[in-house]
Amino acid sequence: MDQKTTIYDIAKKLDITAATVSRALNNNPKISEATRKLVLETAAKMNYKQNRLAQSLRSGKSNNVGVIVPRIDVNFFSSVIRGIEEELHPEGYHVIICQTHEDEKREIENITTLMNAQVDGILMSISNMSKENDPVIKHVVDKNVPLIFFDRKKKMDGVSSVTIDDFEGGYLATKNLIDAGCTRIAHFSGDRSLEIYENRFKGYEQALKDFGLEWNPDYVIQTKSNVDAGRNAVTKLLSLPNPPNAIFSSSDFAALGAIQELKENGIKIPEDFCVFGFGNEPFTRFLELSISSVDQSPLEMGRMAAKVFLEQISNTDNIKIEKKVVLKPELQIRKSSTR
């Protein structure tokens, strides 16, 4: 294996001190422009590569930011990550992406690994509301490492967040179904221990109340965010003595499953049954029967989370200031709810 070039090799080549080489490589203002240029040219010719770990230990900055998401194989989280990278890369930061797969133990491992890697900040969407991860999250805050929640968050002192108004999204989606003439509206809810799903449920519930429709607990089914869960939930709803004629789903994937099952049962959409999803996944607009959905503005959410991080990292007095950014949801009304 070839021996790596060191600053001592460069110093010997130019007949200057290693300290001078180090200062030139790190743009120290005490070094003349001519010397700095000569050192950089020589370093390039000798294929010198700086030790990033040593550099980060000296500066106290790694220029790495950790991003933790439940999963990256859905458009929402991949778009958030894209927004984060678009904002941070021009500022010289690299993004380390971790997935929890909705597993809290894995989430704790991810946070611990990122802290051991001395990241400059962590941006995360939590897996669930269990308190087992509270100590490791609190450790991040205690170490003055900027921590920003996005989409899914916990209420914790000293932690900023970027979310959308899930209550309004749930309210507007339900109102759209009411405006379409639906009177028996079911709701596919995610895990309501998570604030986003509880708020979407509350928005649904409030819309029913405001428009004088009765809330039926049999119409509310907790589902996972996948097609099979939507199909199974519809089977339960159709077995009721008085089944619903519309669904507001907290997940586009569950909404897609619902539509598949309804069609197999000979139910016409939207003539006999309307469906409204949440997330505005790309497939919702490309299907022959396009699906109405609430857009969560993931790209903007990612950019805003990155901007909050940059604001906090630039001023250590701001690291523990809680900044709450709430984005406005937008309805994408398509065939599945348009009569």
CATH label of the domain that carries residue 190: 3.40.50.2300
Q: Which domain holds residue 11?
A: 7-50
Q: How far apart are CA 161 and CA 296, in angstroms?
A: 15
Tens-digit pLDDT profile for residues 260-289: 999 999 999 999 999 999 999 999 999 999
The yes-or-no verdict on residue 129 having pLDDT over 90 is no
What predicted TM-score, i.e. pTM, was given to this entire model? 0.81
Residue 116 and residue 95 share a domain = yes
Residue 186 and residue 71 share a domain = no
How many domains is the chain partitioned into structurally? 3
Tens-digit pLDDT profile for residues 302-339: 999 999 999 988 876 666 677 899 999 999 999 999 98
Specify the amino acid at residue 94. Answer: H
Residue 219 and residue 73 share a domain = no
3-state secondary structure 272-336: CCEEEEECCCCHHHHCCCCCEEEECCHHHHHHHHHHHHHHHHCCHHHCCCCCEEEECCEEECCHH
- Packing angle of the helix pair 18-25, 33-45 (nearest 10 deg): 90
- Strand (E) or helix (H) holding 312: helix 298-313
Residue 266 and residue 204 share a domain = yes
Token readout for 318 is: 């701001």
Rounded to an integer, the average pLDDT of 228-253 is 97
The yes-or-no verdict on residue 56 having pLDDT over 70 is no
Residue 111 is assigned to a structural domain of this protein: yes
Residue 157 and residue 115 share a domain = yes
Residue 55 is assigned to a structural domain of this protein: no
Q: How far apart are CA 27 and CA 37, in angstroms?
A: 10
Residue 208 and residue 317 share a domain = no
Residue 1 is assigned to a structural domain of this protein: no
Residue 200 and residue 235 share a domain = yes
